Structure 1
Amino acid sequence: MSPVIVVATISPKPGEEAAVRDAVLASIPEVHAEPGCGKYALHEATGDSTDLVMIEKWESMDALVTHGRAPALTALGKAIGGLLAAPLDVKTFTAVPAGDANLGAI
């Protein structure tokens, strides 16, 4: 099976940026321990945006589906659901390796 890459954009409501960021950060250690988690890394937008972007790598679509039902993600959804300006924007991808194998794919 091919690894699955996820890019999830989280858009906090104005004034809720710190609460959303803290809730996401609190969930990370538990997600890192989930089976099939190869990467679960939070990034903050630069400039005027307050968006957060989670870049994830799961060993398979099955692992990602399991993650979607796991306690950490369920609790995170409850914690931030009312703090978001828009629904989560979650997209999945498969790599198109190119060039150096260590640099050309996540």
Structure 2
Amino acid sequence: MSQPIKLIVLVATQPGRGAEQIAAFEALAPLVRAEEGCLQYDLHRVADDPDRFALIERWASAEALAAHDVAPHMVAAGVTNKAFRAGPAEVIRLVDAPLS
């Protein structure tokens, strides 16, 4: 059985353009959350920096995440985000730490 996929996606906007990231997320989030296999999709602002964000994502499977990456709304977002992003997002994949 496939394990859920957990991601932290770090995003930085150009100076003073954090509000555009929030607006873009608010428009995109309902579409992403409706995708099959989306378990969590939440944006958080980094404390004391209005232009840095962490997106927390959880997906039911690698297949669900792969479908998300090529969904038409994600492809379109990738194009429009370039207008206000400072650079590419950093994607960090998490694994559960073994308990001893």
- Give the share of equivalent positions with the same residue, in percent: 32
1:33-89 superposed Cα distances (whole Å, 9 cap, x missing partner) = 001000001111101352111100001111111100012211211121121112111
Match of 1:95 in 2: 96
Taking the aligned partners of 1:59 and 1:84, their CA distance within structure 2 comes to: 28
Structure 1 unaligned residues grouped into runs of 5+: 99-106
**Which residue does 1:37 correspond to in 2?**
38
Of 44-53 and 59-68, the range deviating more from structure 2: 44-53
Q: Does 1:65 align with 2:66?
A: yes
- The count of corresponding residues between Structure 1 and Structure 2 is 99
**Cα distance in 2 between the residues matched to 1:15 and 1:50:** 7
Aligned to 1:56: 57
Calculate the aligned-residue CA RMSD, in Å: 1.7
Structure 2 stretches lacking a partner, 5+ long: none
- Please list every run of at least 4 consecutive aligned residues from structure 1 whose deviation after the TM superposition is greater than 6 angstroms: none
1:47 lines up with 2:63 in the alignment? no
| TM score, norm. by length of structure 2 | 0.88
